[in-house]
Structure formats: structure tokens, C-alpha cells
Amino acid sequence: MGDREVDQQLVERVQGGDKHAFDLLVIKYQRKLARLLSQYIRDPAEVEDVVQEAFIKAYRAMPSFRGESAFYTWLYRIGINTAKNFLVSQGRKLPTLQGFDNEDAEDFEDNALLKEVNTPESELMSQQIAQTVNQTLDSLPDELRTAIVLREIDGLSYEEIANIMNCPIGTVRSRIFRAREAISEQLRPLLGTSKDKRW
């Protein structure tokens, strides 16, 4: 079952009355959507508000989602429309960026026009997270680092990674999981995700 199918499973659970499944979709796509919308809305607080509103709208519109497109593509359109409405309500001019109405939301992620729009606080937090992840990644054994990079950056399947690394798929599963666990452990104090504290 691929990534899109997992999303579809989550969507079907939401459509079946499981609100918690929608939380998992929010966790998964919140940063991606925020990054996209920050192209049109400069104020980070406003970006968060619009992203939040976009997710609420997506939840309300969930019964009409029929899985004809990927969930993220559908969410992307809702996000863009929410951003447009927000800018119109503020009496602001809509940016004329290439890709604003681009249906291929996945490609838009790599748009070179994207810029950092964090506030000093959020910028600091982002830097700390990125620094921790990168430092931990560098300290990982080669096989763990290679496995997780091939997965997260190149988007390869476990089978493809196994072929490249010349090892069984089970080993790839284990390496990626161990890499994530190692990084997650380092992030725990930063995120406050200890057993007695929530992020």
C-alpha cells in the first residue's frame, strides 16, 4: 500500500466518523501546506491561521472527497482558495506567481521562489530542529543514514533501497526505523515530547 493509499485509508476513516484520523492527516501535511501558503501570505501568524482554516474547510468538505485525486492535491486547492479569500478580505492584491493555480501541487513544493518567512521565534525553533536533525543524521552509521536519505529525499521504496544497498528489504525497514528513532530521541527535549509533556 503506497502513500496515496494510506491517505485514502485515513480519509475513509474520517468519512466514517473518525476525527482522530483527520488529526493524523493534519500532522502529516501541516508544514507542507504552510510552506506553500507562505508564498502568498507573508505574516507567519496569518499563514498559520489560513492553514488552520484550510484544514477546517477540508474537514467539512470531506464527504465530497471521492478520491479522484490525491488527498494532498485536493487539500492544496482548498488551501490556495482559502489564501485567496483571505487576501481579498484583507483588501490585498493577489500575488501573480507562476504555479499559483498549478494543479500539480507536488511540483510546486520545489518552487525556487519559496522563501523563508518565519518570525524570529519560529525561525529559531526551525533552525534548532533542523540543526538537531542534521547533526544526528551526520552521526548515524552510514547504512542508517543512506537508508533514510534514500527514503526521505529520493522517495525510493524499500525494495528500491534494498536493491541499491544490496541488502534484504527487512534490513531496510529496520535501518530506516532505527534512524528515525535515533533522531526522534534527540528531538525529544526540543519538542517536549517526553512521556509527561506534549509538544
Partner 1 sequence: MENKVSELMDGELNDQSVSNVLGALKKDHELQEKWQAYHLIGDAIRQSSCLSVNISSSVSQKLKNEPIIFSPKVSTKPPISYDRKQKYKVFAFAIAASVIAMISGGIFMNHLYEPKQMMVVDQSKQERNFNAAPIMVSNPSVKHHYVHPPVEINDYLFVHREFSPGITVRGHVTNVNSMPEIHERYGR
140 touches partner 1 (CB under 8 A): no
To partner 1, the closest distance from the beta carbon of 48 in angstroms equals 6
Determine, following the binding rule CB under 8 A, whether residue 2 of this chain makes contact with partner 1. yes
The DSSP annotation for the chain comes to --HHHHHHHHHHHHHTT-HHHHHHHHHHHHHHHHHHHTTT---HHHHHHHHHHHHHHHHHTGGG--SSS-HHHHHHHHHHHHHHHHHHHTTPPPP--TTTT-S-HHHHTT-TT------HHHHHHHHHHHHHHHHHHHHS-HHHHHHHHHHHTT---HHHHHHHHTS-HHHHHHHHHHHHHHHHHHHHHHHT-STT---
143 to 172, contacts with partner 1 by CB under 8 A?
148-149, 151-153, 157-158
- Taking the least distance from each CB to partner 1, the nearer of 12 and 93 is 12
Based on the shown chain and the rule CB under 8 A, indicate whether residue 27 belongs to the binding site for partner 1.
yes
Could you say which of 73, 102, 122, 146 contacts partner 1 (CB under 8 A)? Answer: 122
* Size of interface with partner 1, in residues (CB under 8 A): 81
User: Which of 88/124 has CB closer to partner 1?
Assistant: 124
Task: Enumerate residues 56-115 that contact partner 1 by CB under 8 A.
Answer: 56, 59-60, 62-63, 65-68, 114
- Cα–Cα distance for residue pair 143/175, rounded to 1 Å: 7
Binding to partner 1 by residue 134, rule CB under 8 A? yes
Q: Is residue 181 near partner 1 by the rule CB under 8 A?
A: yes
Task: Please identify, among the stretches 7-15, 70-78, 79-87, 96-104, the one whose residues bind partner 1 according to the rule CB under 8 A.
Answer: 7-15
Which residues between 29 and 48 bind partner 1 (CB under 8 A)?
30-32, 34-35, 38, 47-48
